[in-house]
Amino acid sequence: MPHPIMFDEADPLLGRLRALALAFPDAAEKISHGRPTFFTTKVFAYYGGSLKVDGVYRPHDHSVLVLVDPDERTALLAEERCYVPAYLGVAGWVGVDLTGDTDWDEIEELLDASYRRTAGPRRVARLDSRDAGG
C-alpha cells in the first residue's frame, strides 16, 4: 500500500522551495513516503518531515530537511526553528521550519550545502562552473 500524499501541491512554500531545489544541475523531484523529495543520484532535500515527541510522531509539514556538515548541523540545532527529524535525524539530517520569517537566501545556501554532500564530484564541478559564470 503506497504512502498517502502529505502535502498540498498549491502550497506556496513548496513552490518556492521547488524552484530553488530544481535549479541545481540534474536535480529532479519525486514523491517518497508521501512527500516531495529533491535528488540527483541521492536525495539532497525533503519537503516536510516529522518530529518524535514523547513517543508520538508529530508532522512538521512546512519544513525542509537537509544534510549539512556536522558543525553546521550543531549550529542549526541551537536555533528554535530547527529540529532533528524522525527517522533521518540519526543519519545527520536536520529540519528547518519554513513558516514565519523565512530567509530564503539561507535556505538556498542550505540546499547548496546538502547538494554538495550528495550530488557527486562531477555535478558539484558543474555547479561551481555555473556559479563562476562558466
Residue pair 108/78 in contact (Cβ under 8 Å)? The answer is no
From residue 32, how far is each of 4, 99, 102, 122 by CA, in Å? 10, 22, 25, 25
Q: Tell me, yes or no, whether 125 lies in a domain.
A: no
Q: How far apart are CA 108 and CA 35, in angstroms?
A: 19
Strand partners, 84: none
Residue pair 118/37 in contact (Cβ under 8 Å)? The answer is no
pLDDT tens for each residue of 15-57: 999 999 999 999 999 999 999 999 999 999 999 999 888 888 8
Q: Tell me, yes or no, whether 17 lies in a domain.
A: yes
The reported pLDDT for the residue numbered 37 is 98
pLDDT tens for each residue of 117-131: 999 999 999 999 988
Q: Tell me, yes or no, whether 19 lies in a domain.
A: yes
The reported pLDDT for the residue numbered 134 is 59
Q: Which of 80, 78, 93 is nearest to 35 (CA)?
A: 93
Q: Tell me, yes or no, whether 76 lies in a domain.
A: yes
pLDDT at 101 over 70: yes
Give residue 68's domain range: 12-120
Q: Tell me, yes or no, whether 5 lies in a domain.
A: no
| Domains identified in the chain, total number | 1
Which burial class, exposed, middle or buried, applies to 4 when counting CB atoms under 10 A from its CB (0-12, 13-18, 19+)? exposed
**What CATH number does residue 38 fall under?**
3.90.1150.30
